[in-house]
Structure 1
């Protein structure tokens, strides 16, 4: 959860904003000329002027936005009237609208449209932003007013959402050193400033390695690759000035299919090493020393607050509550996952031996031979499945699910009526199916390109609040699918389709929010992944499969026998998927529980994995030197375990639908889902919200059943 006054914090390259827009009058020249500072205009309650943003405007806009917000904060802190909920908490919720607007653009330039010029500005602004945040979090007069409102509320409770925002705001200030003495506050601020610079450098180093390690193939090196992939690779190479060659970029969307299908083992090794060595190449872009510094500074900072380690401090307001509970969950699943890996590797080695390949399975072989095992065991060819997974049809499928469960309708806006930052971006209006009530806009930026960070994510440009009048939602999904050659369909893997649904789940969580105050739009990190993970389940429902999985050339629906094969493979390769994820989550936690003095990151990672019994045939999903979730900011630091915590909830909630008369489209269960698990955001305690939905706490047994692992006996 990021409190309203802290939400300008750049915790990662994804920046989520919760604000409502209101005119802020000023005679300053920059406010009239700098587009990033200006009130949003146009339809749909005003929209960002993405088509007019310019890197040259960023520095001035951020500095002016900080100046204006600090003036607002000082006015609240110096108010001579006795502190009340209205003149302190509500006033803080309302502050910072200009900077919110600026950071909407900043987030796009950081995540979707980065450039060397922007990175220079970003590096220059990082310490200034840290100082700005410290001026708020360490404002003694402000904190005393917050504390007074908080203490009064403990004697005479406010209405639920008011009480929740007071509790969260007070806790946020307390966790960020508001109760420290002057000397410790000074050091706390210095540490934050140092960290902000390190986070920016870490991110830019990873982006450098993604952009600069490209594998170029010749025509005789294309064995096993699909026509669509080859055409895309040719176009990317041509765009990079390598006409007649084929480019494998250093991103997951390019690496994953290449490792799955390429018959060129040495090239698979090269592509694998490029990808998993990002940030770990022993050059000026190497991140190991940066990580060591981050760990030392994090430990020192929480030490000022009296905590033994960063994990203890971070998890106190999460569902897990402490690192022991998080580790306990992961270590309960780890043995079953690694045992399954041994079975998977044995199956792959047997296939390799049958083919006379005379190899021992290595990490760059895992995807390739797993695909052959899938075909042998289940007669299922992933490339055959891809022929029925068109991006456009998957988008329609998501809209269908949103209509069935949330009663939403998605309608494309007229081209040119809403500004976008790139020609690839498309926009839809979201309305209620029955009443036609406008809910918001959904932006989709689907394709990989230079300057765009890897992976997939969701964000908001404006969130729904009611404390100053109803605001609509501007939400976006961002992916890195390989852009097809002209006239070709975008075909994706089942895993990528699942991720597409996952990120759309975040967007639906934004649209469904029914909260009064911006702070309540925040999330508890090991809970907010639950809603998006749950939405993945609708991809494999019969209604989606039968209507939207059609062959991209013939238009014929996916054959029933192929669907049956897909369902039979639901737990296939779960050893790989669970182990590569858990390895990253466990290393994240172990790094933050360890003594960082003189830590050697590569050595620590290697030894910790050996101690855990990490199978040698696969890597961590995110090796430490490029683990942006954890080291490009603090959003997922000691919190990557949260995906599994959320997956326990997901598996358990899925069983609630399976048990219902109409399955995943059961109206009664869907209504409870929206009411208790989507609409409240952080307006109530997540554990309480889940109990209202399910009637009890979630059980780990559902997760184990879901993954095809042995269910532990009580």
Structure 2
């Protein structure tokens, strides 16, 4: 029998990863689609008058098995893929797009939904029930339920093609990432690199049966090389290789795919009655139009740019001392590290021994315990998809199981770059029980090396807390309907919990509890902790401009500005020019590997990182006023997290904070306004 469909007794009904045969995915998804369609057909054939329970709730509860199987498949395709799964993804993605269209474009089903929407009094529903009704109706009409049969067919074709192209885009980026190595054979080429990074490179070479040292485009190898290598020509080589992922003259080139994706998204928007894809997407965002997004980004640009220019001028002065008259983007990380050392007598590398991964993870768990009463118990009896994955049972204040948390922290050839949170099972309530979620966080940190454990840079510490913040959003979910649970919120609200958690990394009273040397247990010296806190705003102007540039580029692609004749390189350079502080390097571009918008869910939504920063800065200032672990404030924030998408996000925020967020909180925290403002 199919390994994905047969009942296997596992703790907490967890995914039986070790029993899964990858060859079973396609037939399991086909079976689950058939089951879900039968559930939908029962709704359509129900002869009782359409009502909230027999139509809206019945639709909400359909396809549960399909949701789980497809979540397992796509999560494995991101974190532990192979050629078979990648090829299968190109088959399965259009199948799921077609299934989704079969539901959304089903005229009889929409007729019933519309009757319920038109005849149900809001006063007869709870806030969450009304939210589900409103969301269901809008999902249908916004995605083509009112189209003619001819246009419905066009929409199906667009959706299927987009499903294939976005998968292909990510596969091309992964292949180019894995295909490149910087192979060094001369020891003098290692000048400036810390011993630990050299040791990792030696191990990488041995793994590949090569002499010398190997550096890759994976984050734990690539970033330290740019930061510490004294050899400018080598920094240039590896930087350009990174900026050419998906942009080389090979079969992995994503330029044509970008044109196709952007054009298809525009066609979809016009078919549905919107001027641009951004107009379509922003209907369900806090920032409800392209103009609001652009005004927000450009206002922030004007405030941040003078600070960013001043920061880069300091880096230029350092480069001139080394005989470099024109500093380039591949010099930035190196001179930023020199400047950090000069300003704060602090280097990321010297801090790493104080941030072993296990210690940092425990600190994140401790923070969740202090804030929300959660505790984390490692389980060795739960199946996992890779030996490096750990699984934790999450317990609430009453010591009852509240969730499962999977953690996967090290880079592999089958894992895409970056860091993310996801889920295998969502939270929802039945009449009998509260089904608890199974959450996962995935990162790419340095592996243990011999007797040395995985040691994190401080920026990696904040990355872990960021993803853990997303995980807490999922773990604390406590809603009736899964589609409104956890991170199922407006996209420009979803980054609030994650970015909020990063703030704790800069709080002295918290840092002293876990910044301890992995060998001696000695707490990081107080003056260095003070310097970490002081360095919170280090190069914030530059980082802000960088994020704004990505946001502007995203909006340019999705407001119908890319023409068929445009080269991706020229288009990109044009639209981020006002945020660029270094000369453009020919034959490089970020767009062909910009997975957030061409593979992930951030299309017309990349601005949300900065948008949510306003929220998180304002929220954390509330904690600072009352104490960073103040129980009453934490309980209010826990309520916000637990409600998911059951209310308008601004209403949830006001209920927590007592007022709307104030943008000044972000500017003050980032040091982008003077003290007298």
Shorter-chain TM range is over 0.9
Question: Residue 499 of structure 2 corresponds to which residue in structure 1?
Answer: 533
1:213 to partner: Cα distance: 1.3
Give the alignment of 1:66-81 within 5 angstroms.
66-81=33-48
1:380 to partner: Cα distance: 1.6
Question: Residue 437 of structure 1 corresponds to which residue in structure 2?
Answer: 400
1:617 to partner: Cα distance: 5.5
Question: Residue 220 of structure 2 corresponds to which residue in structure 1?
Answer: 253
Deviations 1:618-661 (A, max 9, x none): 89x9921111111115x11000101111100011111111111x
Give the alignment of 1:427-576 within 5 angstroms.
427-433=391-397, 435-468=398-431, 469-521=433-485, 522-576=488-542
Q: Separation in 1 of the partners of 2:122 and 2:320? A: 73
- Residues matched between the structures, number: 671
1:40 to partner: Cα distance: 5.2
Q: Separation in 1 of the partners of 2:619 and 2:122? A: 37
Q: Separation in 2 of the partners of 1:608 and 1:278? A: 20
Question: Residue 292 of structure 1 aligns to a residue in which SS?
Answer: helix
Question: Contact 2:537–2:671 at 8 Å: present in 1 too?
Answer: yes
Question: Contact 1:78–1:141 at 8 Å: present in 2 too?
Answer: no
Quickly say closer, same or farther: Cα 1:372–1:712, change in 2 above 3 A. closer
Question: Residue 624 of structure 1 corresponds to which residue in structure 2?
Answer: 591
Q: Separation in 2 of the partners of 1:267 and 1:690? A: 48
Question: Contact 2:173–2:246 at 8 Å: present in 1 too?
Answer: yes
Please point out which of 633, 638, 648 is paired with 2:614. Answer: 648
Q: Separation in 2 of the partners of 1:688 and 1:613? A: 33
Question: Residue 146 of structure 2 corresponds to which residue in structure 1?
Answer: 179
Question: Contact 2:446–2:455 at 8 Å: present in 1 too?
Answer: no
Please point out which of 29, 32, 41 is paired with 1:65. Answer: 32
Question: Residue 411 of structure 1 aligns to a residue in which SS?
Answer: strand
Give the alignment of 1:585-664 within 5 angstroms.
585-598=551-564, 599-610=566-577, 612-616=578-582, 623-633=590-600, 635-660=601-626, 663-664=627-628
Quickly say closer, same or farther: Cα 1:440–1:208, change in 2 above 3 A. same
Please point out which of 175, 187, 191 is paired with 2:158. Answer: 191
Task: Select between 135-144 and 35-44 the one with higher mean Cα deviation.
Answer: 35-44
Question: Contact 2:301–2:579 at 8 Å: present in 1 too?
Answer: no
Give the alignment of 1:68-107 within 5 angstroms.
68-107=35-74
Question: Contact 1:251–1:275 at 8 Å: present in 2 too?
Answer: no
Question: Residue 444 of structure 1 aligns to a residue in which SS?
Answer: strand
Question: Residue 664 of structure 2 corresponds to which residue in structure 1?
Answer: 701
Question: Residue 282 of structure 1 aligns to a residue in which SS?
Answer: coil
Question: Residue 9 of structure 1 corresponds to which residue in structure 2?
Answer: none
1:528 to partner: Cα distance: 0.9
Q: Separation in 2 of the partners of 1:594 and 1:131? A: 26
Question: Residue 233 of structure 1 corresponds to which residue in structure 2?
Answer: 201
Quickly say closer, same or farther: Cα 1:684–1:622, change in 2 above 3 A. farther
Please point out which of 392, 406, 410 is paired with 2:376. Answer: 410
1:377 to partner: Cα distance: 1.7
Q: Separation in 2 of the partners of 1:222 and 1:176? A: 55
Q: Separation in 2 of the partners of 1:622 and 1:629? A: 15
Question: Residue 5 of structure 1 corresponds to which residue in structure 2?
Answer: none
Task: Name stretches of at least 5 consecutive residues in structure 1 with no aligned partner.
Answer: 1-32
Question: Contact 1:589–1:638 at 8 Å: present in 2 too?
Answer: yes
Give the alignment of 1:138-153 within 5 angstroms.
138-153=105-120
Q: Separation in 1 of the partners of 2:675 and 2:555? A: 24
1:362 aligns with 2:310: no
Deviations 1:504-547 (A, max 9, x none): 00111111111001111212100011011101111222343111
1:712 to partner: Cα distance: 11
1:270 to partner: Cα distance: 1.0
Q: Separation in 2 of the partners of 1:264 and 1:563? A: 31
Deviations 1:134-160 (A, max 9, x none): 111101111111111111224654111
1:376 to partner: Cα distance: 1.1
Quickly say closer, same or farther: Cα 1:384–1:713, change in 2 above 3 A. closer
What is the TM-score when the length of structure 2 is the normalising length? 0.96
Please point out which of 627, 638, 647 is paired with 1:674. Answer: 638
Please point out which of 21, 29, 52 is paired with 1:54. Answer: 21
Question: Residue 596 of structure 2 aligns to a residue in which SS?
Answer: helix
What is the TM-score when the length of structure 1 is the normalising length? 0.91
Question: Contact 2:245–2:593 at 8 Å: present in 1 too?
Answer: yes
Q: Separation in 2 of the partners of 1:418 and 1:613? A: 48
Give the alignment of 1:348-427 within 5 angstroms.
348-354=315-321, 356-413=322-379, 415=380, 417-427=381-391
Question: Contact 2:351–2:458 at 8 Å: present in 1 too?
Answer: yes
Q: Separation in 2 of the partners of 1:477 and 1:230? A: 28
1:325 to partner: Cα distance: 0.9
Deviations 1:319-345 (A, max 9, x none): 001111111111111133332232122
Question: Residue 628 of structure 2 aligns to a residue in which SS?
Answer: helix
Question: Residue 240 of structure 2 corresponds to which residue in structure 1?
Answer: 273
Question: Contact 1:386–1:492 at 8 Å: present in 2 too?
Answer: yes
Q: Separation in 2 of the partners of 1:657 and 1:558? A: 25
Question: Contact 1:526–1:639 at 8 Å: present in 2 too?
Answer: yes
Question: Residue 332 of structure 1 corresponds to which residue in structure 2?
Answer: 299
1:305 aligns with 2:272: yes
Question: Residue 651 of structure 2 corresponds to which residue in structure 1?
Answer: 688
Question: Residue 428 of structure 2 aligns to a residue in which SS?
Answer: coil
Quickly say closer, same or farther: Cα 1:40–1:143, change in 2 above 3 A. farther
Task: Select between 104-113 and 288-297 the one with higher mean Cα deviation.
Answer: 104-113
Question: Contact 2:51–2:116 at 8 Å: present in 1 too?
Answer: yes
Q: Separation in 2 of the partners of 1:137 and 1:532? A: 32
1:119 aligns with 2:86: yes
1:553 to partner: Cα distance: 2.1
Quickly say closer, same or farther: Cα 1:613–1:444, change in 2 above 3 A. closer
Question: Residue 35 of structure 1 corresponds to which residue in structure 2?
Answer: 3
Question: Contact 1:580–1:618 at 8 Å: present in 2 too?
Answer: no
4+ long deviations beyond 3 Å: 154-157, 356-359, 711-714
Task: Select between 287-296 and 91-100 the one with higher mean Cα deviation.
Answer: 91-100
